[in-house]
Amino acid sequence: MEAISHIAAVALTGDEQKKANAAIGAGFAYGIAAIGPGIGIGYIVGKSVEAMARQPEAAGMVRTTMFLGIAFTEALALIGFVVFILIGL
Amino acid sequence: MTDTSSPMTTRFEGAAPEVEVSRDMIRRGLIVGPVLIALCGIIWSMSGVASSAYALALVLVNFAIAAGLIAVTARISLGLMMGAILFGYLIRLAMLFLAVYLVKDAGWISRPALGLTIIVSHLGLLAWELKYVAASLAYPGLKPSRSH
């Protein structure tokens, strides 16, 4: 009961609640936006390493496309980051 | 270059193609950057100029760190390269967050300009570079000249 009364005492006002909700939403947006590219980059790099180990003579081509693939995938995380900057930071 | 099939022991010495790609993108970024900065300056005035320049610098440094990490670790082993890329992704995102967090309340920051420049410059430079890389891969014997 004491804990509940303490929570009630620090209840947020309307504006503060809005800000808190925006910060929580932005945090989720950034976090979730970073998961997909993390999986994507892992997949790209894993397959590239496999390809380079199997066929070392094609390593130059594989590394170039891998680097671009990583950068394109990372763009998704950057979009999430920008949303985070704009609404929650 | 060692010719083994194990990713843990295979390593690549010599030229690093990702460093060349990254260098090209940084050079192009420095060429077209002023246009983007001027555009942000027109829309968001001086805070737009400063924010856009800061964002462009972040994007170019991000490319340089990513390429450098791959080039250095590929000379040691492919296993290390894989680990470095995956942890590097987290570290680079954290660095980007820190770089923006430190200046978020500064008077010269315009968040829309910062965000727009990060996305446009990152995707724009990649798409521009892709044209040259696609041509190099499709026609390996025909190296694209600087004028194309």
Amino acid found at B97: F
How many contacts, defined by CB atoms under 8 Å, are there between A and B?
114
Q: State the DSSP H helix or E strand holding residue A62, giving kind and residue range, or none if neither.
A: helix A59-87
Here the ipTM equals 0.83
Distances (CA, A) of B116 to B9, B67, B93, B121, B139: 42, 23, 17, 8, 35
Considering only CB atoms, which chain B residues are within 8 Å of A82?
115-116, 118-119
Q: Are the beta carbons of B86 and A42 separated by less than 8 Å?
A: yes
More confidently predicted of A18 and B66: B66
Q: Which residues of A touch B114 (CB under 8 A)?
A: 85
pTM > 0.90: no
Give me B142's structure tokens: 């025909």
Selected for mutation to probe chain B from A55, A63, A70, A89 (highest B CB count within 10 Å) is: A63
Residue B50 has pLDDT above 70, yes or no: yes
pLDDT band at A75 (very low <50, low <70, confident <90, very high): very high
Q: What is the Cα–Cα distance from A21 to A27, expressed in whole angstroms? A: 10
DSSP string, B66-82: HHHHHHHHHTT-HHHHH
Name the DSSP letter for residue A57: G
Q: What is the chain A residue with the closest CA to B82? A: A45
Closest CA to B131 of B8, B21, B7, B23: B21
Query: What is the CATH code for A35-89?
Result: 1.20.20.10
Kindly report, residue by residue over A1-57, the tens digit of the pLDDT.
Answer: 566 666 655 677 788 888 888 888 888 888 888 899 999 999 999 999 988 888 888
Q: Domain-by-domain residue ranges, chain A?
A: 35-89
Q: Is the pLDDT of residue B132 over 90?
A: no
User: Looking at the complex, does the CB of residue A51 fall below 8 Å from at least one CB of chain B?
Assistant: no
Identify all chain B residues contacting A89, using CB atoms and an 8 Å cutoff.
100-101, 104, 111
Contacts of B60 in chain A (CB under 8 A): none
Cα B62 to Cα B22: distance, rounded to the nearest angstrom: 10
| Cβ within 8 Å of residue B21, ≥6 positions away | A64, A67, A68, B67, B129, B133
